[in-house]
Amino acid sequence: MRKSGNIMGAHEAGELHSPGYGGVATVPSWLRPPDNINDLLPGLWSQTVHRSHDDGSLQIGGVSVAALAAEFGTPAYILDEADFRARAVAFKDAFASAFAEVGGADVYYAGKAFLCTAVARWIAEDGLMLDTCSGGELAVALRAGVEPKNIALHGNNKLESEIDRAVEAGVGRIVLDSLIEIDRVAEAATRHGVVQPVFIRVTVGVEAHTHEYVSTAHEDQKFGLSLAGGVAAQAIAKVLANPSLRLLGLHSHIGSQIFDTQGFEVAARRLLGLHASVEKDHGVVLPEIDLGGGFGIAYTSQHDPLEPKTLADQLAELVVRECRGLGIAVPRVSIEPGRAIAGPSTFTLYRVGTLKDVTIDHGGVRRYVSVDGGMSDNIRTALYDADYSCTLASRASDAPAALCRVVGKHCESGDIVVRDEFLPGDLAPGDLLAVPGTGAYCRSMASQYNHVPRPPVVAVRDGVARVIVRRETEEDLLALDVG
């Protein structure tokens, strides 16, 4: 059953002829047959990706997909390092500049989108902060040498061991998510003889326009402390009264893959209202405020995301206006983008294994294209009803377009990678397919379902490709079995 609140926009059924097919298949209304099947849809691909004039194959960072597949195998996540880092820096620069005249701004890359040691190092080298949300992510950050003061720790149920490690390491902020946790963090701080800087995550009561599973600021969900219910105010008083904690500010994250700035506006307004009340009620000026992440990216032609500069300027305008209205100083602002930095940097490279034409309702035909990965390397289609696009990557084609569904090799009929896409009618076993926009929440949410080893992440830059996360092997899969 399709879930409601589709993260990628509504799937309205339309009747479109599938060229090269003769049949009539049901395709979403936003999906149009391409004028030229070899064209790369604008906005979906990382900055160095283009199609070679010679053999029509896809190139990234000056390396052809054929060479990448030959050297690293498929499936593989192919990451455009220049693109990833340029987006990270674009966020950092845009926010630094938009807030330069007021309280300043920090950008925390949300490591949950995709994290490994190399990425944590890029983030540190490029002057961003790092948001972690588990002991594992914290371990990567520390191993990469990220300065602890530049690390944040999130989580609605941080283990005592995670809190202890974070406090011991000296992380710059722990974002408190429950009343119970306040004591746990304070106890850890006392144990280590430090005063721990903290934020309080506030549920601001915003219904973000995104999939219900990634919407995080309405009341009926697990994150944060309720503004409307008064629990956030209780938490503020409790933290301020504890000498082992230093309250840096309030935090709100309304959800993920959000395009309209209205949700951020309402959230920021409510959060700043609470921020101002801390000064009024407690005589304490909180130095910072965190507006979270959630900025959407383009997975298909349906999406039109805002540039970091536009986002930064809009948020700065709003924050300054609200602070003036409240008669308070503008605090230092932080944001936590994950998807908007990592997502567009990467495509997944698959090899086509089998093709099958299936007669569907009303006599239409759907071509099922099976690739050598699937829901274990990209669970987002199955989990959130997410839409993706893809292209024939190993060559150009002059065959007519055919409506296809790209599926994986797993033992589930819901194992769909790309629900609907027009691909060349001469697509054949052995061809390479590339699915863009898989840099966020794909490798980080990958599983070993059906004992399929997880693919590597290969970073390409200036003609050089290097593995930054190696492919899992059968030995890795067997290594945990005891007996």
Ligand X SMILES: N[C@@H](CCCC[NH3+])C(=O)O
Interface residues with ligand PLP (CB under 6 A) are 110, 112-113, 131, 154, 216, 253, 256, 292-295, 336-340, 440
Calculate the CA 430 to chain-centre distance: 30
Cα dihedral 63→68→72→74 (10° resolution) = 150
Select the binding partner of residue 75 from ligand X, ligand PLP, none (C-beta < 5 to 8 A, by kind): none
Cβ of residue 29: shortest distance to ligand PLP, in angstroms?
26
Measured between alpha carbons, how far is 289 from 394 in angstroms, rounded to an integer? 47
Residues of the shown chain interacting with ligand X in the complex, contacts defined by CB under 6 A? 112, 214, 256-257, 380, 384, 441
Cβ of residue 7: shortest distance to ligand PLP, in angstroms?
11
Q: Whose Cβ is closer to ligand X: residue 112's or residue 158's?
A: 112
479: left (phi over 0), alpha (psi -120 to 50) or beta: alpha
Task: State the burial class of residue 157 (Cβ atoms within 10 Å of its Cβ: 0-12, 13-18, 19+).
Answer: exposed
Q: Is 168 annotated among the ligand-binding residues?
A: no
Q: Is 22 annotated among the ligand-binding residues?
A: no
Q: Is 294 annotated among the ligand-binding residues?
A: yes
Cβ of residue 473: shortest distance to ligand PLP, in angstroms?
30
Give yes or no: 323 in active site: no
Cβ of residue 89: shortest distance to ligand PLP, in angstroms?
16
Q: Whose Cβ is closer to ligand X: residue 134's or residue 314's?
A: 134
Q: Is 108 annotated among the ligand-binding residues?
A: no
Select the binding partner of residue 92 from ligand PLP, ligand X, none (C-beta < 5 to 8 A, by kind): none
Q: Is 384 annotated among the ligand-binding residues?
A: yes
Select the binding partner of residue 292 from ligand PLP, ligand X, none (C-beta < 5 to 8 A, by kind): ligand PLP
Which residue's C-beta sits nearest to ligand X?
441
Q: Whose Cβ is closer to ligand X: residue 8's or residue 266's?
A: 8
Q: Are 431 and 55 in contact (CB under 8 A)?
A: no
Q: Whose Cβ is closer to ligand X: residue 108's or residue 384's?
A: 384
Residue 201: partners with Cβ closer than 8 Å, 6 or more residues away = 154, 175, 176, 177, 223, 224, 225, 251, 252, 253
Q: Whose Cβ is closer to ligand PLP: residue 203's or residue 256's?
A: 256
**Beta strands 196-203 and 457-461, pairing class:** unpaired
Cβ of residue 396: shortest distance to ligand PLP, in angstroms?
34
Give the side-chain half-sphere CA count within 13 A for 148: 11
Cβ of residue 255: shortest distance to ligand X, in angstroms?
8
Select the binding partner of residue 87 from ligand PLP, ligand X, none (C-beta < 5 to 8 A, by kind): none
Measured between alpha carbons, how far is 166 from 176 in angstroms, rounded to an integer? 13
Measured between alpha carbons, how far is 210 from 373 in angstroms, rounded to an integer? 27
Q: Whose Cβ is closer to ligand PLP: residue 45's or residue 295's?
A: 295
Task: State the burial class of residue 331 (Cβ atoms within 10 Å of its Cβ: 0-12, 13-18, 19+).
Answer: buried
Cβ of residue 362: shortest distance to ligand X, in angstroms?
33
Examine residue 75 and say whether the peptide bond preceding it is cis (omega within 30 degrees of 0).
Answer: yes
DSSP 5-32: S-TT----EEEEE-TTT-SEEEEETT--
Measured between alpha carbons, how far is 231 from 245 in angstroms, rounded to an integer? 18
Q: Is 338 annotated among the ligand-binding residues?
A: yes
Select the binding partner of residue 380 from ligand X, ligand PLP, none (C-beta < 5 to 8 A, by kind): ligand X
Q: Is 421 annotated among the ligand-binding residues?
A: no
Residue from 370, 382, 388, 372 nearest 445 by CA: 382
Q: Is 412 annotated among the ligand-binding residues?
A: yes
Number of residues that make up the chain: 483
Select the binding partner of residue 435 from ligand X, ligand PLP, none (C-beta < 5 to 8 A, by kind): none
Continuous segment of H or E residues that includes residue 461: strand 457-461
**Beta strands 225-226 and 196-203, pairing class:** parallel
Q: Whose Cβ is closer to ligand X: residue 186's or residue 446's?
A: 446
Q: Is 350 annotated among the ligand-binding residues?
A: no
Determine which one of 323, 390, 411, 442 is catalytic. 411
Q: Is 244 helix (H, G, I), strand (E, B) or coil?
A: coil
Select the binding partner of residue 397 from ligand PLP, ligand X, none (C-beta < 5 to 8 A, by kind): none
The binding site for pyridoxal 5'-phosphate consists of 294, 336-339, 441
Which residues does the annotation mark as catalytic? 411
The binding site for substrate consists of 339, 380, 384, 412, 441
